Structure 1
Amino acid sequence: MQSLSLKTLNIDESNDVNDNVEEEDDPNSKHNRSIHIEPFHRQRRIDGTLPFSEQIKMMQYIVPTNGIDGRHITDKNMLETDAQGGVWKEIIHTGIGQKPTIGACVRLHYYAYFEHRDEPFDTSFKRRRYLEFRIGKCDVLPGIDIAVGTMQRRERSKFIISSDLLYGELGCAPHIPESAWCLYVIELLITNEPSAIIYDEQLLMKNTTNRQQLDDFAKRIRLAQTLRNTGNEEYANGQLDRALRSYNKARQLIHNKVTLIDGKHEEQYHQLLLKLHLNSAQCYLRLDNFEKCLRACRDALVIEPNNLKALFRASVSLRSLNQLNEAEKYLAKAMTVDSQNQDILNEVEKLKEAFDLLINKKSDETFILKESNELDIDDMLSCIAVSDEFRIKLDSVLNEFIETTTIEPFTIQRDNFSDTEYYYIELLAKYKQLNINRIDENIIHITK
């Protein structure tokens, strides 16, 4: 009987990992992996013994500045000695894709060093979070913004940046010295163009805002309904001012402050708002604040144009404000809604009485005014300094003109009379209810 052995099963008996020798990769093999790049946070990034003045000789001068206020040197006629600062760049590992444009959102890791230092004074790894900002939006120091704007995604580069593009002449005591130049080693992780950012924000709003809007709508409607119920209790107890405060708080809580998702929510919102307007109008009416009552009724009629309560209370308010014609319009519309309503019929009678009272009052005022005017003209005529002979003669002439049947006008030439006499003629003609027509500056016609 043949026995089974490890050799028979082709199983390697050795457990020594050192016996597994890897063969050299074939450079032509499609399975050959790319050269491994050491993780950014484990790399030795700079040589702190080399001065910046020596390092920049081996770097690309991408942005020259005057070294004072960050102003870029762009004039080709300027001498090289005019550029005393700026940004120098050396690519450590090339990236892929396009460079970020203005407004693009970038994410990156970085190390920042002072000259002659091996240890960074700042790094994103201390915060355990990448740095994120938008290009060209003044979110970071100008030098960082310029440097990252020259990079591609997944690129790692070294930058030396002058103080005028970083912390300036004063620095930032106690951590940043005065006029400090810095070396930055930056790895650009992600670049999102502005259009992609807008799309992401819209997508986020679409996924999250609807839920928030629904929650906010339900919460506000519930609180407003509670306040309305409180106001109703206060109204029943005769506490009209407190009821008004409750209604106003409820209205402020929802009016133009909720997002209507669908037709059902819109109907719920409008019905609650309508009730609050009507309740407020009733309180104002009982408090004899007719102007605010009218305003609340008109707000209610915007929501429901044929609301009977709003039409009735608006008519009562207008009648109380003596705007009878407007009150009649609202009452007529209320009659078309419900012509058998007893409150409406009673208001019709009250409005008729108000019209009758107004007509009688106007008649009395007209009579009093006429009598007063007659007395005033008599007094004025007696006060005008003209001779008695002139008074008698003019009165006789005008009486004869009135009694005649002629339709020809009675002509007066001003040059024949003094200013006082001329004024007396006009006033006496008006007193006798004659018409005065001015033909020109010198002639007037008196007609019946």
Structure 2
Amino acid sequence: MINWSSPFERLRPRMNDIIGDGGILKEVVQPGEGPPVPENASVLIHYSGFLEYSDQPFETTTHLKYPQMMKLGRDVTLAGLELGLLTMKKGEFSRFLLQPQYAYGEMGCPPFIPTAAVVLYEVQILDYLDSGQVDDFITMSLEQQNTVPMSTLLEVVNTLRSFGNRFFNQNRYYNAKDREHRVI
């Protein structure tokens, strides 16, 4: 018997509906460890996006030696990808099948993404930092910063130091210097 279904249709039964409307389906290929990525985190990920019937990604970060740290709510532009990242854990590798309303919409993104395209993203969470508290601290006035509990201040400093160390290890010295300056 010949199976006439499309590659994405064959993938769907192995996937879980993560928001309940069928718009974002997820398959965990390799489980991660620890808690899921928190809102407002900064994530270090490798990802590749595919159109159906295509073996080559239309976008990928897998060729980068040091993938960019992406801030949720700011740097991740696809709603479906951001919602999917919030279900992942450190070290996890998953696939997400995104319907157009959670990806590139009805218009697509010519010439690479056709209209109303369903896309597949393969994502691996290499690491994340819970940077929401840092963001909140930085937006405070100096007077407000001086009133935060010492435990909060230490968490902010440790997160900023982690960013600085990561940039230093990637030979991104300007970024490392900026983070260490904020620590001081």
**Range of TM-score over shorter length:** 0.5 to 0.7
Distance 1:141 1:57 in 2: 23
Provide the residue aligned with 2:95 in structure 1.
158
Describe the SS at the equivalent of 1:97: strand
Describe the SS at the equivalent of 1:112: strand
2:8 is matched with which residue: 52, 65, 73? 52
Deviations 1:310-355, CA, capped at 9 Å, x for gaps: xxxxxxxxxxxxxxxxxxxxxxxxxxxxxxxxxxxxxxxxxxxxxx
Provide the residue aligned with 2:174 in structure 1.
none
Distance 2:19 2:96 in 1: 11
Question: Percent of pairs identical after alignment?
Answer: 27
Deviations 1:201-254, CA, capped at 9 Å, x for gaps: 37866843799xxxxxxxxxxxxxxxxxxxxxxxxxxxxxxxxxxxxxxxxxxx
The one-letter code sitting in structure 2 at the alignment partner of 1:53 is E
Distance 1:173 1:206 in 2: 37
- How far has the Cα of 1:166 moved from its partner? 1.0
> Contact (CA 8 Å) 1:100, 1:135: kept in 2 or not?
no
Distance 2:112 2:178 in 1: 41
1:404-415 residue pairs with structure 2 within 5 A?
A: none
Between 1:111-120 and 1:135-144, the stretch displaced more is 135-144
* Paired residues, number: 144
Is 2:67 the partner of 1:125? Answer: no
Distance 1:109 1:134 in 2: 14
Describe the SS at the equivalent of 1:57: helix
> Contact (CA 8 Å) 1:86, 1:162: kept in 2 or not?
yes
Q: Higher helix share goes to which structure?
A: 1
Deviations 1:146-175, CA, capped at 9 Å, x for gaps: 111110000011111111111111111111
Larger RCO (CA under 8 A, 6+ residues apart): 2
2:35 is matched with which residue: 98, 104, 120? 98
1:174-323 residue pairs with structure 2 within 5 A?
A: 174-194=111-131, 195=133, 198-199=156-157, 200-201=159-160, 207-208=180-181
Provide the residue aligned with 1:17 in structure 2.
none
> Contact (CA 8 Å) 1:135, 1:149: kept in 2 or not?
no
> Contact (CA 8 Å) 1:133, 1:140: kept in 2 or not?
no
Distance 2:179 2:53 in 1: 51
Distance 2:179 2:46 in 1: 31
Quick one: structure 1 residues 92 and 206, their matched pair in 2 at CA, closer, same or farther if it must change by over 3 Å?
A: closer
Quick one: structure 1 residues 140 and 128, their matched pair in 2 at CA, closer, same or farther if it must change by over 3 Å?
A: farther
- How far has the Cα of 1:101 moved from its partner? 1.1
Distance 1:110 1:210 in 2: 30
Provide the residue aligned with 1:408 in structure 2.
none
- How far has the Cα of 1:136 moved from its partner? 3.6
Distance 1:210 1:190 in 2: 21
Superposed CA RMSD: 2.8
Quick one: structure 1 residues 181 and 131, their matched pair in 2 at CA, closer, same or farther if it must change by over 3 Å?
A: farther
Quick one: structure 1 residues 125 and 98, their matched pair in 2 at CA, closer, same or farther if it must change by over 3 Å?
A: same
Q: Unpaired segments of 5 or more residues in structure 1?
A: 1-48, 65-82, 212-448
Deviations 1:22-66, CA, capped at 9 Å, x for gaps: xxxxxxxxxxxxxxxxxxxxxxxxxxx9521221122111124xx
> Contact (CA 8 Å) 2:80, 2:102: kept in 1 or not?
yes
The one-letter code sitting in structure 1 at the alignment partner of 2:60 is T
The one-letter code sitting in structure 2 at the alignment partner of 1:89 is K
Quick one: structure 1 residues 206 and 103, their matched pair in 2 at CA, closer, same or farther if it must change by over 3 Å?
A: closer
Distance 1:210 1:105 in 2: 17
Deviations 1:114-170, CA, capped at 9 Å, x for gaps: 112222121102454414222344642111101111100000111111111111111
Quick one: structure 1 residues 175 and 87, their matched pair in 2 at CA, closer, same or farther if it must change by over 3 Å?
A: same
Q: Which has the larger radius of gyration?
A: 1
> Contact (CA 8 Å) 1:154, 1:187: kept in 2 or not?
yes
Q: Higher strand share goes to which structure?
A: 2
Provide the residue aligned with 1:263 in structure 2.
none
1:144 is matched with which residue: 75, 81, 86? 81
TM, length-normalised to structure 2: 0.67
